[in-house]
Chain A
Amino acid sequence: MSHVDDGALHAYLDGALESFPATEADRIRSHLESCEACSQRLEEERQLRAEASTILAGASADAGDMPPFEELRARAQARERTRRPGAGRIGRLAWAASLVIGLGSGWMLRGMSVPPMAEPSRVESLDEVRDAAEPRGQMETPVEAVAEEQAGVSVVGATEVAAEFADASEADRQKVRMAEVQDRLAENEDRSRGAAAGDTSATGLRSRTEAIPMVRTDSVGQRVGEELRPVASADLAEVAQRRAEGALRAAPPDTVFDSTAGLAVRDDRVAGEAVSPLVRVQDPDVPGPERFLGQAAEEKEEDGTLVVPGLAVVSVEWLEGYERMGAVRVLQLLESGDTLELVHLPVGTDPSVLEPVSGGRTELVAPRGAGWLVVRAVASREDLQSVLERMNGAS
């Protein structure tokens, strides 16, 4: 009969043999009763275990004066109150739309001869943004207006977003949000036009970007020919419900999106309002993100996703130092609550720009168009593989 290994000895000492298969647990117990060598090792491991516990006890912090439970509950309720009915869903959709638009504008600019990252709009106060938004008129179809008029971007699902924006219950805050997006897109466009002026091969951002339809295709809308058709509201409710359930599991932290990359991606949503934007890029003719997002060069239509559908997005940022090349880092929350890191590395990027994988994280690298997709998380290789499959399935 084989001896008991250290792991099993510690499981025995920790009272965790129940987590072993019953036959194995029985074998370990009976072996320890009959094997003198293993019994001796058991005592040594018992001392080691006690020593480690003592060491850790030397760095304990007491809970201090715990605030009354009622106080925490009041805080939770106060947060809930700030999320007015419907606000969460609108926020999610608005955020998803702004992500798509932001990514679209940022990536388009990436292909130009200027840094892709326009400086984020300088806004001293929310009032400034609000004031700036007023001349733009009413919020009939703000997302579509931004998308189609300013960047040649069409957003599936924008109809739903616009409809929700039209709801009078969601007012200034969303206006501010959209105004910021509009301002940044306008600013980006202005910069790019200026940059393109000296380039005879380019006719300006608009003419180039109009050929790059950015299509957001998750289940909130569908594209039929050139039309955007909203799905039934019942389906939307189901999507929202599914996302809410996912968010409960994922426990995303409160997130303020870092817009230092100029992606116009910003949000002040609270925990749990997870969204799962799926960005697809379609156009084989125009150099741009599809170069490394595309699945196969020979395919007439190249698709690619930036994010894993169904997972909350924590942040989207250019990889420091590789903004011009379009290296993007996306952080999402896995259902387990752990963070998933996706790095899109175009050809020419030095992989050493990424810090070595550490901390028990697993890394998968997959070819992605003319580049690579690096996926990292504290998860098994199988789990990461399934993440890749989810992305591929979405493309």
Chain B
Amino acid sequence: MNTNKFLVGGIIGGIAYFLLGWLVYGMLLMDFMTNNAGTATGVMKTESEMVWWALIVGNLLSGLALSYVLNKAGVSGAAAGASVGAVFGLLVCAAFDFTMFGTSNIYTMNAMLVDIAASTVMTAVVGGIVGWYLGMGKKAS
């Protein structure tokens, strides 16, 4: 695996995740997720309590995870990146959401299903961007 491609692809993916996450979860789905929260109260932090370093590190790590998988799968194009990214996003998000749904009262099933759909689309888009980057060198050579 090309370490340089992995790291740069991961940073590009992390930035794309951050911007898309802000758009999708911070704006488009904000009210829906609030209205479909579970019975647990006081769990979610307010905007002033949010831990920004953890949010930034989390986005970079998700970019690196996706870049690692795309590199390992030998992806070198936007379409291949998007399709592998969609499967990766679907399985990661669904596995985590079903675990949280089974063990906690943080959100309803509606919120879980919408989160899985949104995450799949987001990861497909980010996978397309990272895949496009990974293919750049190959086209040039």
Same complex origin of A and B: no
Residues of A within 8 A of B (CB): none
Interface residues of B (CB under 8 A from A): none
